[in-house]
Amino acid sequence: MYINVIILCFLFICLPAFSSGFLPSATEVHLGGAGKGKRDQLQLFNNSDETTYVKVVDVVRVTNPGTPHQAEVSVANDIKPELMVTPRMLIIPPKSDVDVVVVDMLDRKSEDAYYFTLTPVMKPGEGITLGFAYKILVRAVPQKIVKSYEVNSNRQEVVISNNGNSRIALDNIRLCKDDNKSSCQFLAQKNVRVYPGLEHRIAKKSGHKIHFDVVFPEFNKYVM
C-alpha cells in the first residue's frame, strides 16, 4: 500500500519543516495589456536530488471574489477555453527548473480572477510521501482599464462600490477614536480587494471614525 499526502499551500503558507521537491517562483500571475493571447509565466524549481513530477489541476474562475458568496467554477473546457495553462504535466530534473505558461483566451471587458493548482504526482513504489501543492492566483484584466469607484457613508456603515472594470485595493482599514487618532484598531480584514461590480461594507462604531487607504488603481486616504 502506498500513501500520498498532499498539503495545499496558498501564498507560501506551509509547514517549513518539510520539502515538497518543487517551489514556484510566484503564487500570482498577471495577464493584462494586450487583449486576447496575453500571457505570463512562472518557474518551478526542483531543489531536490531526484526528478519531480508535477501536474496542473483544478483550473477555475472565481465568482464574487472576496465576498461571502465567493465560489469557484471549473473552466476546464478544451473547446472554448477561457484560460490556457501549459504544459499540464511537468517533469523537473534534479536541481533544475521548468516554465509554466498561462495564456488568456478571451478579450475581456472587465477583470476576472482564476486559480489553478500545481500538485506533485507521486511515482509508484515510493511508499509514504509528503508533497506540497500550490494554488496559483491569476488576474486577467482588460486591455483598456476604466477606473471608477464610489465611497458612500450612512449612519451604520461605509460602502465602497467598484463601478470600473478592474479591481480596487483597500489597505490599512482601521477604527480610530474620534478624539485620539493614535488610538486605532485594525480590522480583522484590513486588506481588501473589491472586484468590478462588487462592493465592500465597513460597519461603523460609536465614537470612532473609519480610516482606510485606496492603494490601487490610485492612492487616496479616507476618513469617514
pLDDT at res. 164: 95
Task: Place 93 in a pLDDT band, splitting at 50, 70 and 90.
Answer: very high
> Given a cut of 80, is residue 69 above it in pLDDT?
yes
The beta-strand segments (E) located in 64-95 are 71-74, 83-86, 89-92
Tell me the CATH number for domain 149-223.
2.60.40
217 vs 224: CA distance, rounded Å: 20
The per-residue pLDDT for range 167-189, each reduced to its tens digit, is 999 999 999 987 666 788 888 78
Q: Where are the domains of the chain?
A: 7-140, 149-223
- Give percent above pLDDT 70 in the chain: 83
Which pLDDT does position 8 carry in this prediction? 54
Give 9-33 pLDDT, tens digit per residue: 554 344 333 345 789 999 999 997 6
Task: State the pLDDT confidence band at 129, using cuts at 50, 70 and 90.
Answer: low
pTM over 0.75: yes
Give the per-residue pLDDT at 3. Answer: 42
Question: Is it true that 7-140 and 149-223 share their CATH fold?
Answer: yes
Report the alpha-carbon distance of residue 104 to residue 34 in Å, rounded.
Answer: 10
What is the helix, strand, coil percentage profile of the chain, to 5?
A: 0, 55, 45
Query: For the domain 7-140, what is the CATH superfamily, name and number?
Result: Immunoglobulins (2.60.40.10)
CA dist list (Å): 14 to 115, 137, 139, 150: 18, 16, 23, 37
Query: Within a 10 A sphere around the Cβ of 132, how many other Cβ atoms?
Result: 21
Q: Say if residues 117 and 203 touch (Cβ distance below 8 Å).
A: no
The C-alpha atoms of residue 114 and residue 202 are separated, in whole angstroms, by 26
